[in-house]
């Protein structure tokens, strides 16, 4: 079961009898989210165009990742071609924007609806053929369809714009209430409003019978047939719904960037949304949002600091798969029942002791990686680079030896702290279970 809302854990469901409290508990989280979204662009750090632009990107990515999780987390469908629906939605939206630029009297805030509609149609058409199977075959079909659509966009330059893509203007439109969406702040609010609406709808979907059947299909398709549902139809509906929201994200993307080109349907974008959803955690509703925020931030900011950022993301992803398959949100939620126990206070020092060698090993690895990247991709900048406040010279063997020692030593020390953490963790969960505050 997977329905914790945004990190706050519903601990004892049985006691929710008092109507106002129940209403607050159910919807309170959403109100908090809305408030946060309202206030965010005015906080220090986000007060400039770059920050607001980043927030807008995060919102779009969050919608896309949530729509992807309707497939991955809810229905158990691994798709490598999800960007197709995002891109097709984006193309529909940008064409609508062009029509608006030429006089069609529709206000700009309604443009994402075109994206959603296009996504839905594409999802229904392509989904009818592709959702007959699940598992690896579905993954392969989605890969093939993704590549197919990507290649096909170049064959129809009239609609898809070829290499140049399609551009439009978000300001040349009717301006209700005097808002022309020229500034990034206005675009952010529009995007955030749509993103919140989309998230609410997607969350509501998980509570509908169809949503529950999706989870059932994920867990045991054979049993679903016995209960009287057709797993293939359930998958199809989930697919179409997820494509609708992906198209919505595409529409938001079209407004934000005022251009849609072939790589909107491309494999790279499909791969990125997969990474986001998985790293954030596909088992919880808010997991993909977390993944979208983290990955968008990494893409936007880390890439300015180091040319090795994609390597770090890739390693992070692999580590997540190997050691934390429930993702970041899974890690957080895992701690929820334990936080209230006294044993947690003993868990913290165990973590603290383990963190030290982990950080040491990480520093060593970063030193080695950064030096290698400097030598191979930017040799003209010389061999000296700034790391952690000191200058490191890649030309001297000592830097390499130091890095290797840090990695090896840190790694070994980290391994030896595992026992400590694992016993502290066991104690904590035992205590949690004993006091009745565990997860179901």
- Please state the closest distance from residue 97 (CB atom) to other proteins, in A: 12
Among 303, 396, 422, 435, binds other proteins (CB under 8 A): 303
Which residues, other chains included, contact 207 with Cβ-Cβ below 8 Å and sequence gap of 6+?
A: 3
Least distance (Å) between residue 288 CB and other proteins: 15
Q: Using the 8-state DSSP alphabet, how is residue 109 labeled?
A: G
CA 292 – CA 286 distance, rounded (Å): 10
Q: How many CB atoms within 10 Å of residue 183?
A: 13
**Binding residue for other proteins, selected from 37, 273, 286, 308, defined by CB under 8 A:** 308
Give the closest residue to 82 by CA, choosing from 95, 71, 93.
71
- The answer to whether 230 touches 55, Cβ cutoff 8 Å, is no
Q: Applying CB under 8 A, which part among 201-209, 272-280, 328-336, 393-401 lies near other proteins? A: 272-280
Nearer to other proteins, 142 or 341 (CB): 142
Compute the least distance from the CB of residue 18 to other proteins, in Å: 39
Residue written as tokens 């529709």? 106
CB of 17 or CB of 136, closer to other proteins: 136
Contact 295, 272 (CB under 8 A): yes
Contact 4, 281 (CB under 8 A): no
304 near other proteins, rule: CB under 8 A: yes
Q: CA 48 to CA 43: how far, in whole Å?
A: 10
* Binding of other proteins by 186 (CB under 8 A): no
Cα–Cα distance, 298 to 267 (Å, whole number): 19
Window 53-112: residues binding other proteins (CB under 8 A): 53-54, 76, 78
Among 127, 214, 296, 370, binds other proteins (CB under 8 A): 370
Tell me whether strands 259-260 and 166-167 are parallel, antiparallel or unpaired: antiparallel
Identify which of residues 117 and 260 has a Cβ nearer to other proteins in the complex. 260
Shortest CB 209 distance to other proteins, Å: 25
Q: Where are the alpha helices (DSSP H) in 40-180?
A: 49-69, 83-101, 111-130, 135-155, 157-160
**Contact present, 218 and 75 (Cβ < 8 Å):** yes
* Cα separation, 88 vs 160, whole angstroms: 9
Q: In angstroms, give the least distance from the CB of 221 to other proteins.
A: 14
Interface stretch with other proteins, choices 103-111, 220-228, 244-252, 267-275 (CB under 8 A): 267-275
CA distance 264 to 246: 11
Residue 397 Cβ, how far from other proteins at the closest point, in Å? Answer: 17
Side-chain-facing half-sphere of 189: CA atoms under 13 Å: 12
Options 30, 46, 229, 351; binder of other proteins; rule CB under 8 A: 46
45 lines the binding site for other proteins (CB under 8 A): yes
| 234-263: contacts with other proteins (CB under 8 A) | 257-261, 263
Binding piece for other proteins, criterion CB under 8 A, among 4-12, 103-111, 225-233, 271-279: 271-279
Residues 277-296 contacting other proteins, CB under 8 A: 278
Residue closer to other proteins, measured from CB, 308 or 347: 308
The token duo for 281 is 């955690």
Binders of other proteins among 2-31, rule CB under 8 A? none
**Per-residue contact string for residues 135-174; x = within reach of other proteins by CB under 8 A:** xxx-xxx-xxx-xx--xx-xxxxxx--xxxx-x-x-x---
> What is the C-alpha to C-alpha distance for residues 137 and 271, in angstroms, rounded to an integer?
17
Site string for other proteins, 379-408 (x = CB under 8 A): -xx---xxxxx-------------------
> With CB under 8 A as the contact rule, which of the stretches 44-52, 59-67, 96-104, 334-342 interacts with other proteins?
44-52
């Amino acid at each position: 079961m997977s329905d914790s809302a945004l990190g706050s854990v519903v601990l004892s469901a049985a006691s929710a009898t008092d109507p106002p409290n129940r209403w607050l508990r159910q919807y309170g989280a959403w109100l908090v989210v809305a408030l946060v979204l309202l206030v965010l662009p005015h906080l220090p750090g986000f007060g400039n165009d770059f920050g607001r632009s980043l927030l807008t990107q995060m919102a779009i990515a969050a919608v896309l990742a949530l729509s992807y999780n309707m497939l991955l987390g809810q229905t158990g469908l691994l798709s490598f071609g999800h960007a197709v629906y995002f891109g097709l939605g984006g193309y529909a939206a940008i064409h609508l924007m062009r029509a608006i630029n030429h006089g069609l009297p529709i206000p700009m805030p309604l443009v994402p609806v075109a994206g959603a509609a296009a996504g839905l149609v594409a999802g229904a058409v392509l989904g009818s053929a592709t959702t007959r199977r699940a598992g690896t075959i579905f993954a392969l079909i989605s890969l093939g369809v993704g590549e197919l659509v990507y290649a096909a966009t170049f064959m129809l330059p009239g609609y898809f714009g070829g290499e140049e893509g399609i551009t439009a203007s978000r300001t040349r439109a009717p301006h209700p209430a005097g808002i022309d969406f020229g500034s990034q702040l206005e675009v952010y609010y529009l995007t955030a409003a749509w993103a919140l609406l989309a998230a609410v709808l997607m969350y509501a979907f998980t509570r509908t019978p169809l949503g529950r059947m999706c989870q059932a299909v994920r867990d045991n398709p054979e049993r679903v047939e016995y209960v009287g549902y057709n797993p293939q139809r359930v998958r199809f509906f989930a697919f179409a719904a997820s494509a609708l929201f992906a198209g919505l994200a595409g529409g938001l993307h079209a407004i934000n960037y005022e251009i849609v080109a072939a790589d909107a349907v491309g494999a790279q974008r499909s791969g990125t949304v997969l990474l986001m959803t998985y790293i954030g955690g596909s088992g919880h509703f808010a997991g993909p949002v977390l993944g979208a925020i983290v990955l968008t931030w990494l893409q936007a900011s880390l890439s300015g600091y180091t040319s090795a950022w994609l390597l770090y993301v890739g390693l992070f992803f692999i580590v997540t798969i190997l050691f934390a398959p429930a993702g970041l949100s899974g890690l957080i939620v895992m701690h929820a029942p334990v936080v209230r126990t006294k044993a947690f206070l003993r868990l913290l020092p165990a973590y603290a002791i383990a963190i030290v060698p982990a950080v040491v090993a990480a520093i060593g690895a970063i030193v080695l990686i950064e030096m290698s990247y400097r030598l191979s991709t930017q040799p003209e900048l010389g061999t000296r680079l700034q790391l952690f406040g000191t200058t490191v010279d890649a030309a001297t063997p000592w830097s390499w030896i130091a890095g290797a020692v840090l990695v090896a030593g840190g790694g070994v020390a980290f391994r030896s702290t595992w026992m400590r953490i694992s016993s502290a963790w066991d104690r904590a969960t035992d205590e949690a279970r004993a006091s009745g505050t565990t997860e179901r």
